[in-house]
Amino acid sequence: MGDAFSDKVFDNFKPWNREAAMARATAMRYAIEFDTIEHSDANSLALLGTVGAGKTMLGCCVLNELLSRNIGVRYTKYGEMMQKLKQNAMDEEAYNRHLGNYVNARVLFIDDMFKDSRTQADLNHLYKVIDGRYFARRPMIITSEMTIDQLADIDLAIGSRIAERCSNYAFTFLSGREGNYRLRGLI
Ligand SMILES: Nc1ncnc2c1ncn2[C@@H]1O[C@H](COP(=O)(O)OP(=O)(O)OP(=O)(O)O)[C@@H](O)[C@H]1O
Ligand SMILES: [Mg+2]
């Protein structure tokens, strides 16, 4: 994932407001407890809400921490995963290979869930990934601008599986623009 990724470590994530401090604590607790909870019902992390609040960075902090402990992780932007699956929908062998990459990774980080693509076809592909991981109890790290409720409104089967797996490790940024780190000092 390049140089930008290696800077994304907990020490560089500033607790610049109350929500940032709480989200960082949730992500750190997830990384610390990962070995104990990996195969449990609540083995996944959700970082939701406010644009620019640091959701992607915190997810990458967790990945870096897990990688340093030799735990295999896979990162994908939601849109890229959807594109890969849709592009290969007509080629069963290629489709199953790509789907398997997403379903079988030890940890899968899906960044910006539901951003842009959420047609019924998109949801059918996504369901295979989420249900495959849900069934096998494989951990997910999920970021989205949406709340858990909004995820469930879009697709209850997908949203409720995510809600269950993320029930111990979820943080939703609820502030408005003042919580956007990209705009700090500008508004
Ligand atoms: N608490 C923080 N300390 C240091 N840098 C931060 C912090 N929060 C965010 N950043 C930086 O601000 C930028 C925006 O953060 P990030 O991309 O993680 O936000 P996001 O919540 O994923 O936004 P989006 O909803 O647009 O995907 C990144 O460059 C990130 O490294
Ligand atoms: Mg992001």
Distances (CA, A) of 86 to 26, 97, 129, 136: 34, 13, 13, 23
- Ligand 1 atom nearest to 57, measured from its CA: 18
| 3-183 to CATH, choices 3.40.50.1100, 3.40.50.720, 3.30.360.10, 3.40.50.300 | 3.40.50.300
Q: Walk across the sheet containing 140-144 and list its strands.
A: 73-77, 107-111, 140-144, 45-49, 170-173
**Whether residue 10 has its Cβ less than 6 Å from ligand 1:** no
Whether 54 lines ligand 1, by a CB cut-off of 6 Å, is: yes
CA 16 to ligand 1: nearest atom:
1
Q: Which atom of ligand 1 is nearest to the CA of 13?
A: 3
Amino acid at 72: G
* Angle at the Cα of 157 from the Cα atoms of 152 and 163, rounded to 5 degrees: 55
Q: What is the pLDDT of residue 69?
A: 97
pLDDT 10s digits, 27-84: 999 999 999 999 999 999 999 999 999 999 999 999 999 999 999 999 999 999 999 9
The span from the CA of 141 to the CA of 138, in Å, is 10
Q: Which pair of structure tokens corresponds to residue 107?
A: 């940890």
Give the chain's mean pLDDT.
Answer: 96
Report the separation in Å between the CA atom of 90 and the middle of ligand 2, taken as the mean of its atom positions: 30
Q: How far is the CA of 91 from the centre of ligand 1 (A)?
A: 37
Number of H helices, E strands in the chain: 8, 5
- The 3-state DSSP class for residue 13 equals coil
- Residue 54, classed as helix, strand or coil, is coil
Segment 154-187, tens digit of pLDDT: 999 999 999 999 999 999 999 989 999 999 988 7
Provide Rg for the chain, Cα atoms: 16
Token pair belonging to 27: 């992500």
* Mean pLDDT value of segment 142-157: 97
Question: Which of 11, 142, 181, 184 to mutate to test ligand 1, by most ligand atoms within 8 A of the CB atom?
Answer: 181
